[in-house]
Structure 1
Amino acid sequence: MPALSLRRVTTLLLAVACPLSAQTVRSYQSTPDLSSALEAQPALAFTAKSSASPLTITVNDSERFQTMDGFGASMTEGSAWLLHDRMSPAMSRDVMTKLFDPSSGIGLSFLRLPIGSTDLSLNHYSYDDMPAGQQDPELRHFSTEHEKDYVFPVMREALKLNPAITVMATPWSPPAWMKTHDSMVGGSLREDDMSAYAEYIVRSLQSFKKANIPVKYLTVQNEPLHETEDFPGTLMLADQQKRLIGRYLGPDLRHVGLQTQLLAYDHNWDHPEYPIEVLSDSAAAPFMAGSALHCYGGEPSGQSVVHDRFPDKGIWMTECSGGTWQKKAPLEVTAHLLIDSTRNWAKAVALWGIVLDTDHNPHAGGCGTCRGLVTLDTKQMSVSYTGDFYALAQASKFVHPGATRINSTSFKNEGLESVAFQDLDGSIVLLVLNDRSDTAKFDVNWNAKTFHAALPPGALATYIWSPKQ
């Protein structure tokens, strides 16, 4: 995959910096083979003519939906280690800038931060590990020292590059001694350790805050319906999750003055009844901002099922990994996710690991075939940027935190899909994916004006214009 070259970055920045002329539309395009990657296209122009095309995307900024937190991925221990320890300082600065800087890079603005280890870690660990058979109910051995080597420094650097980043925290497992079979792999949280686990999470957030990593959102268990076999994970049914939040964790967070908001579930689209049960609980509900969902089962419409029951609560797409199992180009896969998730109320879209090496490492069990946004070749000591990176870039570079999704027509059956937003400065941003095998020619209509456009097969484009012209 091609790197984000200096020439392309310079072209992009010059194009972004240029003021829009009257009735003009800026556009940027990426193709599946990345021969065109976030590449500025010739300016388009609105005309007063009505559209005669059967494929006309109508954008209506008077129909408004969710506000956006942003786009991003997870800062796993493995990703942080590659960025901090395996890359040279110069290479790491360059990659971090491209990932997070809103001006010189793509401005990723949503980061999921694990509490302890995941499958994309160097090994399994919690913040209160004890010898087998021993317990620590008063958390006397609690420590986040492990994260001070690379996770905390890399997170702080990301927040320095983009202070608008929203951080969400998630544990994959309680400490082994809190579980039904004394292991971070599989099993469940013991009922008699609910209070200790709530305190463990609170201390984790306090430690993150002390490290200048403020956490806005929290889920209490990654993929709670998946009892893992070779990496940290915990089976936690909705009944236990709502009691943990309502009786222990929610009150404990408020008692210590943390304003972190909780999200229910953090698992696949195919079980919307889980977050609905948690959000319906009268004790848990006051602490809940909404629900977190993943892409590995079901359809994006599962998000709308939850939204329809709780329209005042948010939806966040918090994990979707690419990997060797996928047949389509990464750009197309992630473009579908961006459009389908946000059209079904997602306030953020986050992929999985940020950086992996060419052998899909590091991983400690779990996914050995996952794909990151950035691939590090440890033999050549070079980096490349995947189609996932460029798909996210087509959104994150232009749709900023606080933007509102607005209405746009989408032709899924005809292979032309879209989603539109309005940024806080009033600019309108339209993403269009050509899911056809031929070039798609179409019109875009807004405010009784039209521009004409064409997209190569599989291409994703972003169109930006200002209503103030």
Structure 2
Amino acid sequence: MPEIIIYQSKGEGELFVEQFAAQLPQISSDAVTATVEIDATQTYQEMDGFGASFTDSAAYLIHQVLDEEQRTEVMSRLFHPQDGIGLSVLRNPMGASDYARTIYSYNDLPEQERDPGLAKFSIAHDEADIIPLLQQALELNPEIRLMASPWSAPGWMKTSGSMIAGQLKPEYYQVYADYFVRYIQAFAAHGLPTYAVTPQNEPLFEPHHYPSMLMLPEEQREFIQHYLKPAFRSHQIDTKILCYDHNWDRPDYPLSVLDTAAAEVDGVAWHWYGGAPAAQSEVLKAYPGKEVHFTEGSGGEWIPPFEQAFSNVMRTGIEILRNHSKSFVLWNMALDEQNGPTVPGFGKSTCRGIVTVNQQTRELTYTLDYYALAHFSKVIRPKALRIDSDSSKEHIRSVAFRNTDGSVAAVLFNDGETQETVTVKLPDEEVLTFSMGPKSAISLQVKGNRE
């Protein structure tokens, strides 16, 4: 009989509780109200994994506010595959984002100065907190993949003259491509390979209270095709280029980029702040060879109580994976008791971190996003291959994978309002039956036959 481990979340006080299938109460087949059938013969995408971002704010809180014992604990619980939840994708801002203590790039200059040769390029800022944590994460989990996305080019390259708003000036396209090369080379020198980049975070959003840069599809297409990819080729850089990096509601943007730059683009990056996950499949259908990545979704106070917030991560995460994404990345790895720090002038923050670090008390708290991510990352490991799962009831959401060790992983969420008795039919003809309360989640890991 296979060893089956179950992780179950029933409510705010019972998050990610581990038990073995053998400990489940016996349930009559007559009581079954829903069936999920897993078919290992139908396969889809290979996973890179799950994670969040070491923003400047998150890195500062973990590296400087927590003491060494707390930092060791939280890093292990985040990244270690056995002792923690084994997060394996980190998507970092290239320079300041909205969640930074100051506005900075890797080539800041006094007003009116220019540096087309990037003589003053430096990642010294990241060497204080971000790089040490990335190195520690990689030690805990060597399978981690690093992504990078800029919120803005250095101000002197832009029409606004600032990292706030504006567009990249055409005369600096080559310099900005070289800026990416310098970033990748500098991080590699610290033992940190960059797996993928996007040319611009949220290129259609141009806020005036934190770093941003408008980059229309025709501009991104031009930049990738004629500057960024050629720069990578000339420096033998194999970092992937993902286009778009914005919400599901504008699939026309990546389609426009891929229309002429498909040869230079490895895939499409998506966020969840508008539209629906089906957009991922829509673009993949038009360009079947391109990768799908989900690179940012934040929880926050706009989804108020526990039930809606936990449910949002579970239901949306399952649908993101069912729509072919190789990654599922939330936003800040850590925020403080005020949902910050944020850049000066940002105003009230409503985002939620994976963990909360109270700057006054130094108390460390694991948020519901940590436990929701755990439902995925603990059982679905890097290079797992998605297999088919079919539910007899639409509100019993499911997604299933086969890991490289042969184990089968499944994540289920009861999105209904009533309790269900669910039978899961596993690929080896093993059948597992259990009860799922409304808005509860179960993750299964079937480890193969025991001696």
Question: Which of the five TM-score ranges fits, normalised by the shorter chain?
Answer: over 0.9
C-alpha offsets along residues 17-60 of structure 1, whole Å, 9 cap, x if unaligned?
xxxxx145321112331x2222113424999x988845110100
Query: Could you say which residue in structure 2 is the equivalent of 1:149?
Result: 128
Query: Could you say which residue in structure 1 is the equivalent of 2:384?
Result: 403
Deviation at 1:164, TM superposition (A): 0.2
Alignment of 1:321-340 (within 5 A): 321-329=298-306, 330-340=309-319
SS at match of 1:216: strand
2:286 corresponds to 1:269: no
C-alpha offsets along residues 429-457 of structure 1, whole Å, 9 cap, x if unaligned?
11011122332211111344422111222
Contact 2:3–2:449 under 8 Å retained in 1: no
SS at match of 1:409: strand
2:20 corresponds to 1:39: no
Contact 1:261–1:287 under 8 Å retained in 2: no
Deviation at 1:380, TM superposition (A): 2.4
Query: Could you say which residue in structure 2 is the equivalent of 1:417?
Result: 397
Deviation at 1:133, TM superposition (A): 2.1
Find the partner of 1:66 among 28, 34, 45. 45
Amino acid at match of 2:438: P
Find the partner of 1:124 among 103, 109, 129. 103
Contact 1:267–1:292 under 8 Å retained in 2: yes
Which runs of 5 or more residues in structure 2 are unaligned? Answer: none
Deviation at 1:412, TM superposition (A): 6.3
Query: Could you say which residue in structure 2 is the equivalent of 1:75?
Result: 54
In structure 2, C-alpha distance between the alignment counterparts of 1:119 and 1:412, rounded to whole Å = 41
Query: Could you say which residue in structure 1 is the equivalent of 2:268?
Result: 291
In structure 2, C-alpha distance between the alignment counterparts of 1:50 and 1:439, rounded to whole Å = 16
Amino acid at match of 1:417: R
* Distance of aligned partners of 1:228 and 1:184 in 2 relative to their CA distance in 1, 3 Å threshold: same
Q: How many residues align?
A: 443
Find the partner of 2:115 among 126, 136, 142. 136
* Distance of aligned partners of 1:119 and 1:353 in 2 relative to their CA distance in 1, 3 Å threshold: same
Deviates more, 1:376-385 or 1:35-44: 35-44
Deviates more, 1:220-229 or 1:138-147: 138-147
Amino acid at match of 1:443: T
In structure 2, C-alpha distance between the alignment counterparts of 1:23 and 1:460, rounded to whole Å = 22
Deviation at 1:366, TM superposition (A): 7.2
In structure 2, C-alpha distance between the alignment counterparts of 1:253 and 1:336, rounded to whole Å = 37
* Distance of aligned partners of 1:367 and 1:265 in 2 relative to their CA distance in 1, 3 Å threshold: farther
Query: Could you say which residue in structure 2 is the equivalent of 1:445?
Result: 425
Amino acid at match of 1:92: R
Contact 2:99–2:340 under 8 Å retained in 1: yes
Query: Could you say which residue in structure 2 is the equivalent of 1:16?
Result: none
In structure 1, C-alpha distance between the alignment counterparts of 2:30 and 2:448, rounded to whole Å = 19
In structure 2, C-alpha distance between the alignment counterparts of 1:196 and 1:51, rounded to whole Å = 68
Query: Could you say which residue in structure 2 is the equivalent of 1:3?
Result: none
* Distance of aligned partners of 1:251 and 1:50 in 2 relative to their CA distance in 1, 3 Å threshold: farther
Deviation at 1:328, TM superposition (A): 4.9
Amino acid at match of 1:295: W
Which runs of 5 or more residues in structure 1 are unaligned? Answer: 1-21
SS at match of 2:161: coil
Query: Moved runs in structure 1, 4+ residues, more than 3 A?
Result: 44-47, 49-54, 410-413, 466-469
Deviates more, 1:404-413 or 1:118-127: 404-413
Q: Percent identity?
A: 38
2:306 corresponds to 1:311: no
Contact 2:379–2:444 under 8 Å retained in 1: no
C-alpha offsets along residues 175-218 of structure 1, whole Å, 9 cap, x if unaligned?
00000010101111011111111111111111111111110111
Contact 1:45–1:451 under 8 Å retained in 2: no
In structure 1, C-alpha distance between the alignment counterparts of 2:357 and 2:35, rounded to whole Å = 41
SS at match of 2:69: helix
Find the partner of 2:416 among 436, 447, 467. 436
TM-score normalized with structure 2 length? 0.94
* Distance of aligned partners of 1:294 and 1:444 in 2 relative to their CA distance in 1, 3 Å threshold: same
Deviation at 1:411, TM superposition (A): 5.6
* Distance of aligned partners of 1:213 and 1:54 in 2 relative to their CA distance in 1, 3 Å threshold: same
In structure 1, C-alpha distance between the alignment counterparts of 2:258 and 2:116, rounded to whole Å = 29
In structure 2, C-alpha distance between the alignment counterparts of 1:50 and 1:437, rounded to whole Å = 22
Alignment of 1:7-406 (within 5 A): 22-33=1-12, 35-44=13-22, 53-281=32-260, 284-329=261-306, 330-364=309-343, 365=346, 368-406=349-387
Deviation at 1:332, TM superposition (A): 1.5
In structure 2, C-alpha distance between the alignment counterparts of 1:418 and 1:328, rounded to whole Å = 23
Deviation at 1:312, TM superposition (A): 1.2
Amino acid at match of 2:161: D
Contact 1:358–1:375 under 8 Å retained in 2: yes
In structure 2, C-alpha distance between the alignment counterparts of 1:410 and 1:235, rounded to whole Å = 42
TM-score normalized with structure 1 length? 0.91
Deviates more, 1:335-344 or 1:456-465: 456-465
In structure 1, C-alpha distance between the alignment counterparts of 2:134 and 2:448, rounded to whole Å = 36
SS at match of 1:41: strand
In structure 1, C-alpha distance between the alignment counterparts of 2:319 and 2:30, rounded to whole Å = 26
Amino acid at match of 2:274: G
